[in-house]
Structure formats: C-alpha cells, structure tokens
Amino acid sequence: MPTLSMKEEDRDYAVSFALPGDSEGITYVIGRQSCDTRKMEGDTFDRGNLLFGGIESLVIFDDVFVPWERVFMYREHEFTGQLVEKFASYHRQSYACKVGVGDVLIGATQTVAEYNGVDRASHIRDKIIEMNHLNETLYCGSIACASEGQREPCGTYYVNTLLANVHKQNITRFPYEIARLAQDCAGGLLVTLPSERDFRSHEIGALLDKYCSARTDVPAEHRMRILRLIENITMGAAAVGYLTESMHGAGSPQAQRIMISRLINMEEKKRLAKKLCGVELNSERIPRSLRRG
C-alpha cells in the first residue's frame, strides 16, 4: 500500500491489495540482522531469547496476479494521503506491543541486578522505577487513543488520531531510555561475556564459572543467560524491533510531529489562556469606537 501522499505521476504505485504470502512472482530478500548467525548455533544461551525471534525482508512483486476482489486501491492517487493517515493512526495506536517487550526487559534488569548483588542499591531501585514509569506511560498512551476512539458511520471504530500520534512519538523515545537504563544496571559484562562454548570448555569452563559469578548462590550460567537476553533486546536481533522499529515503524518521528501540529486546537488553547489573564475580557470591555483596527 502507499506509504505517502502521491501525485498524478505516481499513480502506477498508488495500489493496495492483499495476497497469500507464497503467491507466484513474490520474492523475499531476507535482511541481515545483528548476531543473526547465533540463531544457527542451536539452542545455545548466546541466542539470548531461546523461544522467539523474527526477520524482516525486502518484498519484491514482479508480475504477480491479484484478483480484483483483493484490490483495495487502484491508481486512485488522490486518496493516498487519507489512506496513509488512517492506516498510520491505527498502527501508531498498536504500539502497546513495545510495552510487552519493556516488561521483559524490566524483569531481566531486576533479575540481573539481583544476580549482580546490587538490587538493594538506591540508584538501581530508582532506575528500575524509572523504567516502569516510562513503560506504563507508553501503556497509558495506547489505551488512551483506543478508548478515546469514535464509532464511524460504517460501524467500525477509529482511534483518536491526535493521541495516537502523541503515543507513537513517545514510542520513538522511551524504549531507548529504558534500554539505556537496562544497560546501566546490567554492567559491561553485557558485551565482554565469553561464548557458551567457552563456558562448556574443559580447558577454561571452570575458570569462567569462577570469575563470571557475582554471588555464590547464583550459578554463573544464570547470570550469563539473563545478560544475553538483555543484549538481545537492546543491541542484538530483538533490538531491530524494540528500538529501530519503534523509531521508524508507522512513520519516522517527524511524521507524528506534523500530524500533532495539524490536529491540536491552538485557537482553543489561546482562548483559555487569554480568558484567564483577562486579555479577552479587556478587549470585550473596550468600547468599539476605541478599539484599534
């Protein structure tokens, strides 16, 4: 589907349709991700997340047959702006998904702080409170733009566009701060950690167990696993979704700022301010004959 407002000369690309993913003529060129070859090493804890992962791809449509009943837009370039605006608003509302990742990251940060033996330090506790504050603020934004939505004449519900854009703008920022705080609490071992193969090695495994533990009652392996998960979310394969997709998904930050500037009711805000400080009142009281202009 179109990703921006199009003009007459763009009309060949003003198309929107749905197809089965394996239709003839579609080519997927899979993207390269950070740490992607770790996924090919089997179930080592170096993967960080043993259960889930994802990929992105460049999708090329070359002479693909699309039945008419699956075509939603065909060269109607004059509606592309409206289509993008509505699609983007729904997509911007849907960014509660990052809050779920934030929950995992906060849980991992609390756990590593405990494994490191610093969970009672006041600044660590405060940083974890801050992470929760930011994450729940994001949750509030997603709930707000959905619950402030309106029923359309056709029966479907449309999100509150201003709040959806505000919410997405926060999504371009807060996960980065949450990730920063997670790395702060985790410590530098996050990036200097040896591989699982080294931990299993007869030669140096015992030494790594000894020097990579922070507490006698927590096995070094547990500490390594949780650090790998934080690595995965904040700079490894999952950072694609948690950070960069938060920045650019459903449009880059500037796209939301343009929408916010269009949707805010500035005249109403000015009216309220003027009323409280007496500007409006005074101008009403001045006799018409004495007013300027």
Ligand X SMILES: Cc1cc2nc3c(=O)[nH]c(=O)nc-3n(C[C@H](O)[C@H](O)[C@H](O)COP(=O)(O)OP(=O)(O)OC[C@H]3O[C@@H](n4cnc5c(N)ncnc54)[C@H](O)[C@@H]3O)c2cc1C
**Binding-site ranges for ligand X (CB under 6 A):** 3, 56, 240-241, 244-245, 248-249, 251-252, 254
User: 231 or 245, CB closer to ligand X?
Assistant: 245
Burial class of residue 154 (count of CB atoms within 10 Å of its CB; 0-12, 13-18, 19+): exposed
User: 50 or 258, CB closer to ligand X?
Assistant: 258
User: 97 or 218, CB closer to ligand X?
Assistant: 97
Query: How far is the CA of 168 from the CAs of 1, 216, 235, in angstroms?
Result: 20, 44, 21
User: 149 or 251, CB closer to ligand X?
Assistant: 251
CB of 266 to ligand X, least distance (A): 23
292 phi, psi to nearest 5 deg? -75, 150
Cβ atoms of residues 230 and 186 within 8 Å: yes
Tokens matching residue 204: 């140096």
Spatial distance between the Cα atoms of 289 and 270, rounded to a whole number of angstroms: 25
CB of 241 to ligand X, least distance (A): 6
Spatial distance between the Cα atoms of 113 and 184, rounded to a whole number of angstroms: 10
CB of 90 to ligand X, least distance (A): 10
CB of 208 to ligand X, least distance (A): 34
CB of 240 to ligand X, least distance (A): 5
User: Which residues, including other chains, have CB under 8 Å from residue 258's CB and lie 6 or more apart?
Assistant: none
Spatial distance between the Cα atoms of 37 and 44, rounded to a whole number of angstroms: 12
User: 53 or 249, CB closer to ligand X?
Assistant: 249
CB of 83 to ligand X, least distance (A): 12
Integer-rounded Cα Rg, in Å, for the chain is: 26
Spatial distance between the Cα atoms of 222 and 201, rounded to a whole number of angstroms: 17
User: 84 or 106, CB closer to ligand X?
Assistant: 84
